[in-house]
Amino acid sequence: MDTILIITILIVIFALGFDFINGFHDTANAIATSVSTRALPPRVAVMMAAIMNFVGAITFVGVAKAIAKDIVDPFSLNATADDTTGSVVILAALISAITWNLLTWYFGIPSSSSHTLIGSIAGAAIAAAGFNILNYNGFTSILIGLVASPFIAFGAGFIVMSLFKILFKNLNLYRTNKGFRTLQIFTAAIQSFTHGTNDAQKAMGIITMALIASGLQTTDEVQAWVRLACAIAMGLGTSIGGYKIIKTVGGKIMKIRPVNGAAADLASASIIFGATLVHLPVSTTHVISSSIMGVGSAQRVKGVKWGVARKIVITWLITMPISAIMAGIIYTILSIFF
């Protein structure tokens, strides 16, 4: 078995591992509001999220294609008989992304799997071939989507909550909360589905990128086995759950009532699914957390715990550069052995 094939097999294993970790790391965001308001018991919420993530993951492939070709042109990394550079770049990126995800999960910080993966791919590629290796048109579009989506989600959360305040201001509080708890079952399911349509695509894109770089594939089409394997990996990861991050997102940003949770779920799900439709990878973590902040601001600005929000935002800002540096270092080490 030649070196390139061995590295490609390792990439597939690590990519599925990334998707598995992404499942319990990011799924917490999708169900945090429904768990914190007791609309759903944690175990029920996690299992529902696992199923809906799986369904979402096998439904769309546009984001996977963007990851495969818009950051770095995989055909420029295509390996020759004795050149493993492209494959090592992808392996280094995955190791970096997995490391950062596990660190932030351990400390209960809702960081972005999208940021760490995209930053890692860019960092490893730059370490291998310099800044010219980046596909600047595609990379810029992805960055704009990552940067703009939290602001759009904040605005959407603010608008939805403002509408709810107008529409339901004269209703009995108990009945309103009871009704919104029921609604949250559906909004949490929608949230989990949209999460699968966007986040599971990233590992599919990485595997597709690796198959092209190793010369095992000549188009950017996502093969059926790749879609199924990534969907299963994310579904299994989701079934484990991420209770540390549920605690942060579901309670430490603001005190969430059922009406707040439903508003945040509807706002963030619409932004994530919209991004999926235009083939843009966005951070589901950023979108969901920002929509909660927007909902909180519409209800009462002082009710948002801005100190916690600030820590989350700082993590967002440092994730991509740290991931890029880590990936560059890991690539340099791996290139000694391969």
| Residue closest to 281 by CA, chosen among 65, 126, 84, 134 | 65
Q: Which residues pair with 72 in a beta bridge?
A: 134
Average pLDDT over residues 262-281: 92
**pLDDT beyond 80 at 161:** yes
Range of the domain at 189: 3-337
Look at residue 308 in the predicted model and tell me its pLDDT. 62
**DSSP code, position 134:** B
Say what the pLDDT of residue 168 is.
Answer: 83
Q: What is the pTM of this model?
A: 0.84
* pLDDT tens per residue, range 42-88: 778 888 888 898 898 888 888 988 888 888 887 777 654 456 888 89
pLDDT attached to residue 277:
93
Question: What's the whole-number mean pLDDT along residues 104-121?
Answer: 81
Q: Which residue has the tokens 């715990």?
A: 305
Residue 206's SS3 state is: helix
Check pLDDT > 70 for residue 217: yes
**Is 175 buried (19+), middle (13-18) or exposed (0-12) by CB count in 10 A?**
exposed
C-beta of residue 263 within 8 angstroms of C-beta of residue 157: yes
Range in 150-159, 193-202, 294-303 the model is least confident about: 294-303
Query: Residue 135 pLDDT more than 80?
Result: yes
Query: Considering the chain, what percentage of its residues have pLDDT values greater than 90?
Result: 29
Tell me the mean pLDDT in the region 176-204.
87
d(CA 181, CA 172): 14
pLDDT at position 244 is 54
Judge whether 205 and 19 are in contact, CB under 8 Å.
no
Residue 97 has pLDDT above 70, yes or no: yes
Could you tell me which residue, 120 or 113, shows the higher pLDDT?
Answer: 120
Grade residue 245 by pLDDT with cuts at 50, 70 and 90: low
When pLDDT is averaged across residues 31-38 and rounded to a whole number, the result is 76
Domain total of the chain: 1
Question: Which range, of 158-162, 199-203, 302-306, averages the lowest pLDDT?
Answer: 302-306
Does 253 have pLDDT greater than 60? no
Query: Residue 237 and residue 232: Cα distance in Å, rounded?
Result: 9
Instruction: Tell me the per-residue pLDDT of 223-243, one tens digit each, with 9 for 90 and over.
Output: 999 999 998 998 888 777 555
pLDDT band at 120 (very low <50, low <70, confident <90, very high): very high
Q: How far is CA 279 from the centre of its chain?
A: 14
